[in-house]
Structure 1
Amino acid sequence: MSKPIVLHIDHVSKTFGGLDALSNVHLDIREGETHAIIGPNGAGKSTLLNVCVGGLEPTKGKVLLAGTELTGRRPFEINQLGVARVFQTPEIFADLTVVENVMMAMLSHRDGAFRLRLLSRFGDRSETGLRATKALTDLGLGGHLNHLAGALSRGDKRRLELVMSVVQQPKLLLLDEPTAGMARADTNATIDILRKFKESGMTIVIIEHDMHVVFSLADRITVLAGGRVIAQGLPDEIKGNPKVVEAYLGEEQV
């Protein structure tokens, strides 16, 4: 029996001033799946993610999370429904420690000022602090607990943001170029973390240009070009698809 659909993208189109950034994109992501969305620059990948998280409203179509419509909701509402997104540039609290960053994420349903008051009141020995410490230790950041987040390397900032996302226990994790600008060692370390998420049964959608990352993680792949889906299938099917190779000429070779 097929696993339930977590994310349903229902014939979504998005037009900007007469330009079709997305055209009739239809896609289902099932529970526990790691699904990669690839394509050349300008294919509509980030636009699609922005539609899913409420940053943009589609011109046509709709997006549903486990049967609940997301279209028309604000980003914080979509986050509270169980969608976590990791952006191309890590979004962390640079002036807080690493463990405080994760505690803030765990208290994400609170407003920012109230979260800060909770941090100052309970500190990192609270139940929240202990859970944050364990999450960081499990994912290789245990040695940085009390370091300021802003002082971390780019790779460690990305890993911190990933921990901040996963401790929210999302129904769906959306990753927008999670290894952009990383050296190969940092990329491989990030792949290792994402494999742990995958093994835990988390549902993941990843936009990525690095085909090493894509083929290391993806169960299925959707290829966009010119705002349209040109191919969809298993990794081996995508590798041999002539439409995909043609779409990547001058960009990435799959």
Structure 2
Amino acid sequence: MAEATRNIVLHVSDVHKRFGGLHALSDIDLEVEEGKTHAIIGPNGAGKSTLLNVIVGRLAPTSGAVVFDGQVLTGRKPHQINQLGVARVFQTPEIFPDLTVLQNVMAPAFAKRDGAFRINIVRALDRETEIREEAEAILDDVGLIDRRDSHAGALSRGDKRRMELAMCLIQHPRLLLLDEPTAGMSRHDTNTTIDLLKKIKARGMTKVIIEHDMHVVFSLADKISVLSGGRIIAEGLPDDVRNSPKVQEAYLGGAHRLEAH
């Protein structure tokens, strides 16, 4: 009975991706439950970022399909997928370096309404105050309110990543994809980001996280899928994955347990 009530918001169905002779993804079947945090982990070169790029439309799968909230994403352009409620924080932050931090966070809110980052300034004016106030509240949440008038290009890498997270949050996505969200951050900033992501989860947002830091993974994940060689080799609850011999072999040659430090 419990299985029937699960709401699968994202389904990656039998996805393959080839680059010439390289089979980067094979037989990927993945279900992400609404309101949950689903982590995707694996050694370098396992296919994690390729999978996220397929989900958001940056790469077309060789075969298979991606379905979000009952709608097929395969064949849609990235901005169309974003308009459906899917937002992504990239491994390398994608920002407007010549704008201020506040302007960076406000811009996606206008684009979300006007579509494909075509911002109608005249129409935008009637909501500017509302959007500014929301952007400032989100910057406060991510710890950047004191930098709101700074040029984004002058931020540290860790602060750029937090700003990009704010740029996603102001869009009110139904699904948030995070590719190495704490890369380049100190342990203090990493823990602050973990606390923020827990707060976001409490509001009901579904998240898919790719992360190398096991401290982050085991602090946040409800479910973990492990990629190795472009295939899912293990999947389950964090404790099950932590103790899986297959996972230990993929990461460490079976010599050690996978631990959060």
What's the TM-score once normalised by structure 2's chain length? 0.90
| Whole-Å separation in 2 of the counterparts to 1:96 and 1:124 | 19
| Whole-Å separation in 2 of the counterparts to 1:12 and 1:234 | 23
From 5, 12, 15, the equivalent of 1:12 is 15
Q: Deviations over 1:149-195 (max 9, x none)?
A: 22222222111111110110111111111112222222222212211
Q: Alignment partner of 1:206: what SS?
A: strand
| Whole-Å separation in 2 of the counterparts to 1:173 and 1:35 | 10
Give the aligned partner of residue 51 of structure 1: 54
TM-aligned CA deviation for residue 128 of structure 1: 1.4
From 105, 109, 112, the equivalent of 2:108 is 105
| Whole-Å separation in 2 of the counterparts to 1:94 and 1:232 | 39
Q: Deviations over 1:67-108 (max 9, x none)?
A: 100001111111111110111111111111111111101112
Structure 1 window deviating more from structure 2 (9-18 vs 104-113): it is 104-113
Segments ≥4 residues shifted beyond 6 Å = none
Give the aligned partner of residue 182 of structure 1: 185
AA aligned to 2:68 is L
From 114, 117, 122, the equivalent of 2:119 is 114
From 148, 151, 155, the equivalent of 2:151 is 148
User: For the Cα contact (< 8 Å) 2:242–2:257, is it kept in 1?
Assistant: no
Q: Alignment partner of 1:156: what SS?
A: helix
Aligned: 1:199 with 2:202: yes
The correspondence of residues 1-254 of structure 1 with structure 2, limited to 5 A, is 1=2, 2-109=5-112, 110=114, 112=117, 114=119, 117=121, 122=125, 126-249=129-252, 254=258
Structure 1 window deviating more from structure 2 (145-154 vs 169-178): it is 145-154
Could you tell me the percent identity over the aligned residues?
Answer: 60
TM-aligned CA deviation for residue 118 of structure 1: 5.5
User: For the Cα contact (< 8 Å) 1:124–1:130, is it kept in 2?
Assistant: no
State the aligned residue count: 252
TM-aligned CA deviation for residue 231 of structure 1: 0.3
Q: Alignment partner of 1:114: what SS?
A: coil
| Whole-Å separation in 1 of the counterparts to 2:50 and 2:225 | 15
Structure 2 gaps, min length 5? none
Q: Deviations over 1:177-232 (max 9, x none)?
A: 11122222222222122111111111000001111110011000000111111000
**RMSD over equivalenced CA pairs, Å:** 2.1
Structure 1 gaps, min length 5? none
User: For the Cα contact (< 8 Å) 1:13–1:22, is it kept in 2?
Assistant: yes
AA aligned to 2:164 is E
